[in-house]
Amino acid sequence: MNVRAGELATRRRAPELDVAVVGGGMVGATAALALARSGFRVALLEARPPTAWSARNELDLRVVGLAPSSLDLLGELDVWTSIRDARACAYRHMHVWDAESGAAIDFDAASEGRAGLGYIVENNLIQWTLWQALAEAGARQLCPAEVTGFEAGEDRIQLQLADGGSLSAAVLVAADGTASPLRQLAGIGTRGRDYGQRAVVAHVATERAHENTAWQRFLRSGPLALLPLADGRSSLVWSLPEAEAQRVLALDDQAFRDELGVASDFRLGRITRTTARAAFPLKLQLAERYQAERFVLLGDAAHAVHPLAGQGVNLGLRDVAELRDTLLAARAAGRDIGAAHVLRRYARRRRSADTLDALGFDALARMYAWQSPPLVAARALGVRLLDHVAPLKRRIAEHAAGL
């Protein structure tokens, strides 16, 4: 009888954690911090720690444009001020124009009654700041750590780790990137398409100031963006077909600067200096579902989108806010935070919103790939009309801001 009672007590013991977050990039680390700040018992598991950020270091080639919704979330988590004061650049204007027709559209923060449209920030700075805040918030950081398997039960999900250890939680959150081993272990498929393109990235100095403006030109080969950086340079994101991207990567610096000047229509004058270049592949990828038993997807593990709208990380941070609010509501109602109906609410809301955004970005990419004169003329007419229809343009700006 005593042995049996001991067995029952062991089974009914609460899991070690409320939430285990796997993947310590910007979205995963934000999720862990948001949940820890909300009083959940959280662990963040990551294979490699982030590189320490320092103001003495060269700017990270990987930058993101943080929308107001993302700034609000990071502000709630008491990390935005540190990030902003370290090295971030506000952008107050956006100018988008079509190389084929010259049709352009402008977005201006002042006309929208806002101080700015967003900030351009280095990925590494955001990730490093989040990791520094995790310990103070009471979150466990397990690094290096790798999850090799998991099994969901009645009241917990049990994680098997590569070092032979195990961990139990009420909910497992997969924020482990586009390839997401955990998504594959959960048997969740994806759909989408490979764009057959790479985004070539670099930081460049230009003859003229960037004017705290995000510049984007749509070329036949794909969009080219020059995003303002805190040190006065601009971050280049140039989407090119695979073979063309490889050719551009192989150019010497002078030839690269010359080609980039032409491609950017010399909007900021000549390109005077450049860093080394890198490139990453582009694809549209959407998880077929965001939920399994005691398991949810976040960020790139759930969705990968074309960078032309600069919304990838912002969508991931909106996932984080939705998950936090969903789990808080379940806890306040005395429900099991890992119950299927609780996680289904998060999955349904975010998959619907992310899918609409991803397909919208894809449609935009397809539209700007049109080359026949009648379609180019129709596109130009649409852009010019949109630029003059203030309510519709404001609605688009508010959606991009996450408002």
Q: Where are the domains of the chain?
A: 11-401
Q: For the domain bounded by 11-401, which CATH number is listed?
A: 3.50.50.60
* 3-class DSSP assignment, residue 179: coil
Range with the lowest mean pLDDT among 78-87, 89-98, 169-178? Answer: 89-98
Instruction: Kindly tell me if the per-residue pLDDT of 371 is higher than 90.
Output: no
Instruction: Kindly tell me if the per-residue pLDDT of 59 is higher than 90.
Output: yes
* pLDDT tens sequence across 231-270: 999 999 999 999 999 999 999 999 999 999 999 999 999 9
Q: What is the dihedral angle through the alpha carbons of 64, 70, 73, 75, rounded to the nearest 10 degrees? A: 70
- Residue 273 sits at φ, ψ, to 5 deg, of -150, 155
Q: pTM for the whole thing?
A: 0.91
* pLDDT tens sequence across 162-211: 999 999 999 999 999 999 999 999 999 999 999 999 999 999 999 999 99
* 3-class DSSP assignment, residue 184: helix
186, amino acid identity:
A
Share of the chain above pLDDT 70, in %: 90
Q: State the number of CA atoms in the 13 A half-sphere of 308 facing the CB.
A: 28
Detail the DSSP E strand segments found in 242-310.
Answer: 271-274, 278-287, 291-292, 295-297, 303-304
- Cβ–Cβ under 8 Å, residues 70 and 313: yes
Selected residue with higher pLDDT from 370 and 390: 370
pLDDT at 225 (0 to 100): 95
